[in-house]
Amino acid sequence: MAKVIGIDLGTTNSVVAFVEGGKPTVIPNAEGSRLTPSAVAFTQDGQILVGELAKRQAILNPERTILSIKRHMGTNYKIRIDNKEYTPQEISAMILRKLKEDAEAYLGEKVEKAVITVPAYFNDAQRQATKEAGVIAGLDVMRIINEPTASSLAYGLDKEGTQTILVYDLGGGTFDVSILEIGEGVFEVKATSGDTHLGGDDYDQRIINFLVEEFKRKEGIDLSQDRMVLQRLKEAAEKAKIELSSLMATEINLPFITATNSGPKHMNITLTRAQFEAMTKDLTERTREPIYRALSDAKLDPSRIDKVLLVGGSTRMPAVQRLVKEIFNKEPRKDINPDECVALGAAIQGAVLAGEIRDVVLLDVTPLSLGIETLGGVFTRMIERNTTIPVSKSEIFTTAVDNQTAVEIHVLQGERPMAADNLSLGKFILDGIPPAPRGVPKIQVTFDIDANGIVHVSAKDLATNKEQRITVKGGTGLSKEEIDRMVKEAQAHAEEDRRKREEIEARNQLDGLIYTAEKLVKDAGGKVSQDLLDGLNKTIEEVKSSDKSDLDKIKELTNKLNDAIYKVSTELYAKASAQQTSTESPPENQQQDSNGGKNEGTIDTDYKVQ
């Protein structure tokens, strides 16, 4: 079945999106950009250019370049080019056709159906004209929906019960505020307001003006007459504006901006966020009045608004967010890319109409990582958080001590590296493992989370095929708050946990090395000088009896023991090769054997081999 696309046909820019696997995604245009300027140009040689290309030639061809056609939708306005008249819907259709064709190229299939958005205040004639534009572009317009409704859909607000929301949409050139009531999947527009000539471009212009004035004040030179210089200032202004959304100050450095008889002149101006906000305060303040007007039309007090959505690229500015927060006394939602929000919502609406969303298998994810406890109380993750379920994963573990005949599988959930800090879901014992040196048995542990979120954990001894299992019902049944708390705790303790884990891993490694050393003493008996063996024995005893509570101390002991082992094994090899009979196996590589053996009788530990 063909895909349905969602189109945000904007005044300055347009965006197209589609739904795949239940998730909306923006489709980049042929030039590789996610926003397409809503510009159309008729060249002298009869070509029609749309988007970025139309903008590039705009000043050469101003009377044949059409910008902001959306402002004329639903009117009798006509554009006359070479004795032919074009209606606003015909011009809009050219933009829609490019979006359609670029979507087809991206998706590799024909696109016929679309949902197109319009401002909530559009009247019937304007909506009809928009629909006609779609038809002219060869699209079956399944529905025309309001931009704020699309934003609400993108935020999934239709699934959250009855509520009143306000959408604050500050784009490149227009400001819209809409109040909606959502209930049972029905969206009702309660009020709309706005300013048709206010947007991000005004903010850029203020910075350009400031730079020109500052330069005039410092150098006495007027830059405003040089188009080339103005172009550089425009780029620098936009960059500075974006930077000031995350930084408190930015430097505008434009070397060789101009030259006088006395030589080249450079621009070096620092702009702080406070300065920027002061010089644009009136612009931001201009959005206040329409908000109150909409509230009063809807007969609502700010406190009655359940949620505020920020849409449009200009809402990234901290001053705008502050103003909204101050009026509504609550944090606005801004987690979806404000440039893309409307198109994403339109795509969702399209998929719902096509029956695609209903058909999609709703996939869940595990909110927290799952794993088991291994040697030294370490939490070994088997399934990472945010893994889509159903999922299954196996790993091979082994024993920690010689002749260990049972292992305990302790199943845990959480994000902390140490088992004790995470949530225990249950434990079970796999016994009957044939006695063998540590590290030899192979125990396969399998985690399986089914589509209902039920966790099945099994452990199987690959030598005997003996198996034990546990089923954890509601293992992921934590509330959202509990999950958030656990994730936050993990972040807060990250550094301390990392150190703790490093220490335990170092201690496990040292324990493994002691085992290797003891084995070496046995194997090398009579083959190397007794002095050396005594020395190694002494070091082993010393290491065993030392305090091992500090990472540096553990590392020091590890080095010391390594040296002692090295001396013995060097002599062992030297003798062996001298006799040309090498029947002895070399000492085990302690790096691989990061396990220990001081847990006689207990059946807790196993360690990861693969």
Active site residues: 8, 70, 147, 169
Tell me whether residue 25 or residue 468 sits nearer to other proteins (CB atom): 25
CA atoms within 13 A on the CB side of 251: 6
Q: Which of 80, 82, 83, 228 binds other proteins (CB under 8 A)?
A: 228
Measured CA to CA, the distance from residue 534 to residue 2 in angstroms comes to: 80
Q: How far is the CB of 2 from other proteins (least distance, A)?
A: 13
The gap from C-alpha 365 to its chain's centroid, in whole angstroms, comes to 15
Q: Does 53 bind other proteins (CB under 8 A)?
A: yes
User: How many residues bind other proteins, per CB under 8 A?
Assistant: 29
Could you tell me how many residues make up the chain? Answer: 610
> Which one of the spans 89-97, 225-233, 414-422, 552-560 is the region binding other proteins (CB under 8 A)?
225-233
* Backbone torsions φ then ψ of 552, nearest 5 degrees: -65, -40
SS3 486: helix
Tell me whether residue 52 or residue 195 sits nearer to other proteins (CB atom): 52
From start to end of 455-594, where are the E strands? 455-461, 466-472
> Which one of the spans 76-84, 105-113, 159-167, 277-285 is the region binding other proteins (CB under 8 A)?
105-113
> Which of 344, 348, 349, 355 is CA-nearest to residue 1?
355
- Tokens linked to 440: 């030899």
Pair 188, 180: CB distance under 8 Å: yes
Q: Does 555 bind other proteins (CB under 8 A)?
A: no
Q: Which of 46, 63, 108, 220 binds other proteins (CB under 8 A)?
A: 108
Q: How far is the CB of 588 from other proteins (least distance, A)?
A: 42
Q: How far is the CB of 281 from other proteins (least distance, A)?
A: 30
Q: How far is the CB of 28 from other proteins (least distance, A)?
A: 9
Contact flags string 255-294 toward other proteins, x per CB under 8 A: xx--x---xx------------------------------
Q: How far is the CB of 156 from other proteins (least distance, A)?
A: 21
Tell me whether residue 49 or residue 425 sits nearer to other proteins (CB atom): 49
Q: How far is the CB of 109 from other proteins (least distance, A)?
A: 8
Residue type, 429: I
Contact flags string 325-364 toward other proteins, x per CB under 8 A: ----------------------------------xxx---
Tell me whether residue 234 or residue 393 sits nearer to other proteins (CB atom): 234
Q: Which of 40, 54, 352, 433 binds other proteins (CB under 8 A)?
A: 54
Measured CA to CA, the distance from residue 109 to residue 8 in angstroms comes to: 21
Q: Does 435 bind other proteins (CB under 8 A)?
A: no
Residue 214: burial class (beta carbons within 10 Å; 0-12, 13-18, 19+): middle
> Which one of the spans 8-16, 51-59, 307-315, 422-430 is the region binding other proteins (CB under 8 A)?
51-59
> Which of 113, 102, 4, 109 is CA-nearest to residue 51?
102
Q: Which of 2, 60, 451, 462 binds other proteins (CB under 8 A)?
A: 60
Contact flags string 395-434 toward other proteins, x per CB under 8 A: ----------------------------------------
Q: Which of 75, 123, 162, 231 binds other proteins (CB under 8 A)?
A: 231
Q: Does 81 bind other proteins (CB under 8 A)?
A: no
Pair 154, 135: CB distance under 8 Å: no
DSSP 528: S
Pair 64, 43: CB distance under 8 Å: yes
Q: Does 57 bind other proteins (CB under 8 A)?
A: yes
> Which one of the spans 41-49, 71-79, 201-209, 579-587 is the region binding other proteins (CB under 8 A)?
41-49
- Tokens linked to 325: 């927060």
Measured CA to CA, the distance from residue 51 to residue 38 in angstroms comes to: 6
Place of tokens 């830059």: 223
- 90: how many CB neighbours lie within 10 A of its CB? 18
Tell me whether residue 232 or residue 442 sits nearer to other proteins (CB atom): 232
Q: Does 20 bind other proteins (CB under 8 A)?
A: yes
Q: Does 46 bind other proteins (CB under 8 A)?
A: no
Tell me whether residue 363 or residue 492 sits nearer to other proteins (CB atom): 363
Q: Does 532 bind other proteins (CB under 8 A)?
A: no
Tell me whether residue 46 or residue 601 sits nearer to other proteins (CB atom): 46
Q: Does 227 bind other proteins (CB under 8 A)?
A: yes
**Which residues, 6+ apart, have CB-to-CB distance to 46 below 8 Å?**
none
- 542: how many CB neighbours lie within 10 A of its CB? 13
Distances (CA, A) of 458 to 384, 403, 453, 539: 18, 22, 16, 41
> Which of 537, 433, 413 is CA-nearest to residue 483?
413
Q: How far is the CB of 108 from other proteins (least distance, A)?
A: 7
**Which residues, 6+ apart, have CB-to-CB distance to 166 below 8 Å?**
177, 178, 179, 180, 291, 294, 295, 305, 307, 308, 309, 328
Q: Which of 31, 140, 541, 563 binds other proteins (CB under 8 A)?
A: 31
Q: How far is the CB of 269 from other proteins (least distance, A)?
A: 16
Q: Does 21 bind other proteins (CB under 8 A)?
A: yes
**Which residues, 6+ apart, have CB-to-CB distance to 304 below 8 Å?**
164
SS3 244: coil
Tell me whether residue 60 or residue 494 sits nearer to other proteins (CB atom): 60
Most distant CA pair in the chain: distance in Å? 109
Q: Does 105 bind other proteins (CB under 8 A)?
A: no
Residue 66: burial class (beta carbons within 10 Å; 0-12, 13-18, 19+): buried
Pair 6, 100: CB distance under 8 Å: no
Q: Which of 48, 58, 487, 576 binds other proteins (CB under 8 A)?
A: 58
- Tokens linked to 519: 């084995």
Which positions lie near other proteins, rule CB under 8 A?
1, 20-21, 31-32, 41, 43, 49, 53-54, 56-60, 106-108, 227-228, 231, 255-256, 259, 263-264, 359-361
